[in-house]
A and B are shown apart, each in its own frame.
Chain A
Amino acid sequence: MNCRAVKKNLSALLDGELSERERALYLSHLKHCSECRTIYEQLLLLHEAAAVPEELPAGLEERIFRSVLRDGEPARPTRRRRLWPATVALGAAMGLVLCFWAVRGLPAGSEMTPEAQRNGMAEASLFSQEDAVREKNAAPFADMAGQAERELTGEYDRVYSVELETDESLKPAEDAGFVLELTVEDRNYLVGDASLISQLPYRGFAGAGEQLPGECLLVLITEE
């Protein structure tokens, strides 16, 4: 057993992640190899020091609890609500974008804006309102969650979709932050956090961004 292979697994040994057989092999290597043993001892030392929890700032729990009381409330049993998505329509449409988003547990009191109600865009839904996304099991979302570099948090209650007309095709900015381009079943998706949308240079969406509920994941499909 060479030192190079051993060094790669010292953490796994320390964390108890090796099989009995591997563990025995590694320990016997450490008995005879002072270089690997020294490194192991150092890792152990660091692990023990890192495992010591930091002291908490005074009043932390109070402040957290009070901020939740202020800005939220314990969730009530969910009632299924229809939420008409915000829509923006601009002049001559050059690009047609199908936009849908999954919403998690809307804060109480989030309303549909009158403008959105007035617009009354046809709602082209990819998913019916009721059997919308459940947990992460709806097909495109499960795939996306699998493909996303970071897990897209949470489990989504429902998905809404709308057709938007924009006058330019959508492209994510270089530094758009949490925007991922994914291809699922031959369709291209841009996935991002709706709360960041004001930072995305999509002219057609500047208006929509202000009207979207705070916490939702925005999924844009760019149609060919």
Chain B
Amino acid sequence: MTEERAAAGADMELVRAAAEGDSGAFELLVRRYAGQVYRIALRVCGNPADAEDVAQEVFLKLCRSLNRFQGESSFHTFLYRVTTNAALDFLRGRKRRETVPLEAEGNGPLAVLPDPDAPPEEQLERRELQRAVRRGIAKLPAGQRTALALRELEGLSYAEIAAVLGLSEGTVKSRIARGRERLRVILEREGTFFSGRPSNEKEGGERG
């Protein structure tokens, strides 16, 4: 926790320096946050090209707003908020201009949870599951995708997600619950859960 706070403190130094015109500091901010911004945009928009366009726009907006941050929480909130709004705006724009079906085309290379001890078949299964999950997520409504992206990728609490998206906590809770249930049903119909992995292997463990 102290590490996180130290990192957050260091970020504010960067933000301040960048606000003074230090482009090296701004470059460091880009390196630090580009991944997060891109991945959220990818989950919301559904394809890498759009996600990158959104990410560029987000950092442009960030660049113009650098002098308004009081502290790290406002900075992070801003980043999440601008990212989700830019991604959702992008989707609206797409709907108007063309009828492009929103399907994930596999979303490019996958990052696999490193587990060198796992047998190859299990690693393959995991990758397949990740692919299936991402395809399934792309079929959810935009609002559910957005709330889920913040929960799954960024680990935000319901209260934090509500603050970013300007929704009530109850709405966030129901979007996440509905999104996951819908995803579960999609994958169930695809036969994902009949993979031969015995169900008692996975304990219904709680997360901290």
Q: With a CB–CB cut-off of 8 A, which chain A residues contact B65?
A: 75, 104-105, 154-155
Query: Known contacts A14-B207, A60-B55: does B133 contact A50 (CB below 8 Å)?
Result: yes
Q: Mark A76-89, 1 if CB is under 8 A from B, else 0.
A: 11100000000000
Interface residues of B in 110-129 (CB under 8 A from A): 110-113, 126, 129
Interface residues of B in 39-72 (CB under 8 A from A): 39, 42, 48, 52, 55-56, 59-61, 63-68
For B175, the closest partner residue in chain A by CB is A11
Residues of B within 8 A of A (CB-CB), count: 76
Interface SS of B by simple majority:
helix
Q: Mark A52-72, 1 if CB is under 8 A from B, else 0.
A: 111111001101110111011
Question: How many Å from the CB of B168 to the closest CB on chain A?
Answer: 11
Q: List 7 A-B contacts (CB under 8 A).
A: A11-B173, A43-B181, A50-B137, A65-B30, A67-B59, A75-B66, A151-B81
Q: With a CB–CB cut-off of 8 A, which chain A residues contact B63?
A: 68, 72-75
Q: Do B64 and A175 touch across chains, with their CB atoms under 8 A apart?
A: no
- In the bound assembly, the distance between CA atoms of A51 and B59 in angstroms comes to 24
For B27, the closest partner residue in chain A by CB is A65
Q: With a CB–CB cut-off of 8 A, which chain B residues contact A68?
A: 26, 30, 56, 59-60, 63
Q: Which of A56, A76, A178 meets B35, CB within 8 Å?
A: A56
Q: With a CB–CB cut-off of 8 A, which chain A residues contact B66?
A: 74-75
For B205, the closest partner residue in chain A by CB is A44
Of the four ranges (under 10, 10 to 19, 20 to 34, 35 or more), the interface on chain A belongs to: 35 or more
- Give the segment of A32-40, A92-100, A118-126 that binds chain B: A32-40
- In the bound assembly, the distance between CA atoms of A203 and B111 in angstroms comes to 51
Q: Do A8 and B177 touch across chains, with their CB atoms under 8 A apart?
A: yes
Question: How many Å from the CB of A123 to the closest CB on chain B?
Answer: 25
Give residues in B with beta carbon < 8 Å to A.
18-23, 26-27, 30-31, 34-35, 38-39, 42, 48, 52, 55-56, 59-61, 63-68, 81-82, 85, 88-89, 92-93, 96, 107-113, 126, 129-130, 132-134, 137, 148, 151-153, 155, 157-158, 165-166, 173, 176-177, 180-181, 183-184, 187-188, 193, 199, 202, 204-208
Q: With a CB–CB cut-off of 8 A, which chain A residues contact B19?
A: 74-75, 77
For A13, the closest partner residue in chain B by CB is B206
5 smallest beta-carbon distances between A and B, as pairs: A151-B166, A105-B64, A50-B152, A11-B177, A49-B133
Q: Which of B59, B82, B111 meets A153, CB within 8 Å?
A: B82
- In the bound assembly, the distance between CA atoms of A12 and B52 in angstroms comes to 32
